[in-house]
Amino acid sequence: MRVRLAPSPTGSLHIGTARTALFNWLFAKHEEGKFLLRIEDTDKERSKPEFTQNILEGLEWLGLQWDEHLVLQSECINNHRAAIQSLLDRGLAYRCYANESELEAMREAQKANNQAPRYDNRHRNLSADEESAFIAEGRTSVVRFRIDNDKPIAWNDLIRGPMLWRGADLGGDMVISRRAPSNEIGDPLYNLVVVVDDASMRITHVIRGEDHIANTAKQLLLYEALELKIPIFAHTPLILNSEGRKLSKRDGVTSISDFKAMGYTSEAMTNYMTLLGWSVIEGMNERFTIHEVAKVFSFERVNKAGAKFDWDKLNWINSQVIHAYSSESLLNEISPHWIEEGWELPNHEWCIALIELIQPSLTLIKEGVEQSRPFFEEPILETDGQKQLEVEGARKALKALIDQLEITDWDGLEINIAKEVLAIAIEKTGAKKGLMMKSIRAALLGRMKGPDLLTTWSLLARVGKDRDRLRSCL
Ligand code: GLU
């Protein structure tokens, strides 16, 4: 059992491609087969090495490691040319000399007659003299593969069941190489190269998005013509936006590196992408790792209908993943962001205590930066914090607290000591406990929202940041 992902490096790793990769990987693991990776870099103008890099990094980040060596399609070009030559030699493909303006006129005429656009096979049976005349005119040619209109094309799709197409559905004889002088073969095109490469990589199952169904029909004809072993096909449903259209760049974030930068974890991404199209087995939790789902994965549970992308669900899964992290793992995820901010990290134990403090309220890894900011930087006094400090009795309460702190030896470790300081200050001023606590929060964080106050205070005290902040509010 050998499957593959065949992305084109013409953009960053798209969530749709990543989900296809995931289904391939899950199937390979379940069947104890191999998951291979081929970078389809034959479109020289649109392919970029940085996109290849982005795709490889994205797959690795998601934990979808491929087996065997990476295949670069551009390195297999001799095989592609040889296949085209063999089709030409056997009369299964031919050169078409029609130029752009002739093809345009043909399409216009079809439009005027309310016909679907298709190539009318006009150069299928050129005589030797006709061909010579075109060449003498200096015309270039594409190579076209003959498609018989009456030819039935059938396959049993692992997701969609029996599929039946006809040659006539495919828009006329298919171009398999780009325009070139008639003694050369131009750049081979997608449907031809995919078939040649999948066969030479001995791919047994082609699993890809349903936007490739028409290509599959074309490719089946090429397998037959090239006398290659036909793989099994599975077409996965598309990921849709909230309007039910294919999720695209216009919907904002679509690439895996963007999700990562926003603070989604790879565990949540693979968990959610599996749920986008695959239904859990009864009694199974919706939270799982790819290794758990690999044990039970099958295409029988993959839906035919497209799946709507749901941010709330992804956020819920991400928060569940983050809350389940050990504080060490979460620190590993968040500390690079802290360092990026230029913050100096105190000792490890302090960092772990801060992580434990903020962990329950995080939905995104990135939020760990904003929530930690007042522990590293001087806080900005926000409107709600300002208002709290203006409340009658607030400053008086804080003053009593500072006076008591100044005669207390507290390094932030023993929370009981803070409680005592608090109790004495409350007693001395007669302030309400609520007023005291809210005012401390405003003084320490500059705002009224935040995690547990005593822990916050003790962490700030341990890095010598509490007293100055309290004093500066008087
Ligand atoms: N390069 C194609 C794509 O990215 C590959 C499709 C396929 O899996 O055959 O859409």
Question: Is residue 249 predicted with pLDDT exceeding 90?
Answer: no
**51, 59, 76, 194: residue to mutate for ligand 1 pocket, most atoms within 8 A of CB:** 194
For residue 14 and ligand 1, the question of a CB distance below 6 A is answered with: no
Q: Is residue 351 part of a domain?
A: yes
Q: What is the CA radius of gyration of the chain?
A: 32
CATH number assigned to the domain comprising residue 388? 1.10.10.350
Query: Residue-wise over 305-338: b if at least 16 C-beta within 10 A, else e?
Result: ebbebeeeebebbbbebbeebeeeebbebbbeeb
Question: Is residue 392 predicted with pLDDT exceeding 90?
Answer: yes
> Crossing angle of helices 266-275/49-62, nearest 10°?
90
Residues 17, 102 share a domain: no
Mean pLDDT on 237-254:
86
Percent of the chain with pLDDT over 90: 94
pLDDT band of 251, cuts 50, 70, 90: confident
pLDDT band of 161, cuts 50, 70, 90: very high
From the alpha carbon of 206, which atom of ligand 1 is closest?
Answer: 8
Residues 201, 69 share a domain: yes
Last residue of a domain, one of 154, 170, 189: 189
Residues 455, 396 share a domain: yes
Task: Check residue 252 and give its pLDDT.
Answer: 80
Task: Check residue 1 and give its pLDDT.
Answer: 97
Total tally of structural domains belonging to the chain? 5
Give 54-95 pLDDT, tens digit per residue.
Answer: 999 999 999 999 999 999 999 999 999 999 999 999 999 999
Beta-bridge partners for 255: 14
Give 424-470 pLDDT, tens digit per residue.
Answer: 999 999 999 999 999 999 999 999 999 999 999 999 999 999 999 99
The answer to whether residues 410 and 448 touch, using CB atoms and an 8 Å cutoff, is no
Model's pTM, two decimal places? 0.89
The answer to whether residues 141 and 97 touch, using CB atoms and an 8 Å cutoff, is yes
CATH number assigned to the domain comprising residue 336? 1.10.8.70
Q: How far is the CA of 50 from the centre of ligand 1 (A)?
A: 18
Question: Is residue 473 predicted with pLDDT exceeding 80?
Answer: yes
CATH number assigned to the domain comprising residue 289? 1.10.1160.10
- State the pairing for strand pair 93-96/141-145: antiparallel
Q: Is residue 244 part of a domain?
A: no
Domain that holds residue 233: 2-73+193-239
Question: Is residue 243 predicted with pLDDT exceeding 90?
Answer: no
Residues 154, 10 share a domain: no
Question: Is residue 246 predicted with pLDDT exceeding 90?
Answer: no
Own/partner long-range contacts of 209-212 (Cβ < 8 Å, ≥24 apart)? 209/16, 209/20, 209/235, 209/236, 209/238, 210/160, 210/235, 210/236, 210/237, 210/238, 211/238, 211/246
Task: Check residue 112 and give its pLDDT.
Answer: 96
The answer to whether residues 38 and 270 touch, using CB atoms and an 8 Å cutoff, is no
Residues 215, 359 share a domain: no
Give 74's Cβ-side CA count (13 Å radius).
Answer: 12
Beta-bridge partners for 71: 38
| Measured torsion, CA atoms of residues 155, 157, 158, 159, in degrees rounded to the nearest 10 | -170
Task: Check residue 97 and give its pLDDT.
Answer: 98
Residues 226, 289 share a domain: no
Q: Whose CA is nearest to atom 4 of ligand 1?
A: 7
From the alpha carbon of 5, which atom of ligand 1 is closest?
Answer: 8
Give 343-375 pLDDT, tens digit per residue.
Answer: 999 999 999 999 999 999 999 998 999 999 999
Q: Amino acid letter at 337?
A: H
Residues 174, 123 share a domain: yes
From the alpha carbon of 215, which atom of ligand 1 is closest?
Answer: 9
Question: Is residue 474 predicted with pLDDT exceeding 90?
Answer: no
Q: How far is the CA of 198 from the centre of ligand 1 (A)?
A: 11
Q: How far is the CA of 3 from the centre of ligand 1 (A)?
A: 13
pLDDT band of 248, cuts 50, 70, 90: confident
Give 315-341 pLDDT, tens digit per residue.
Answer: 999 999 999 999 999 999 999 999 999
For residue 153 and ligand 1, the question of a CB distance below 6 A is answered with: no
Q: Is residue 63 part of a domain?
A: yes
Q: Is residue 417 part of a domain?
A: yes
- Which of 252-256, 375-379, 438-442 has the lowest average pLDDT? 252-256
Residues 83, 171 share a domain: yes
Residues 387, 354 share a domain: no
CATH number assigned to the domain comprising residue 128? 3.90.800.10
Give 109-118 pLDDT, tens digit per residue.
Answer: 999 999 999 9
pLDDT band of 36, cuts 50, 70, 90: very high
Q: Is residue 311 part of a domain?
A: yes
Residues 394, 449 share a domain: yes
Q: Is residue 214 part of a domain?
A: yes
Residues 228, 264 share a domain: no
Cross-sheet strand order for the sheet of 174-180 = 93-96, 141-145, 174-180
For residue 7 and ligand 1, the question of a CB distance below 6 A is answered with: yes
Q: Is residue 92 part of a domain?
A: yes
Residues 108, 34 share a domain: no
From the alpha carbon of 20, which atom of ligand 1 is closest?
Answer: 8
Q: Whose CA is nearest to atom 7 of ligand 1?
A: 6
Q: How far is the CA of 6 from the centre of ligand 1 (A)?
A: 5
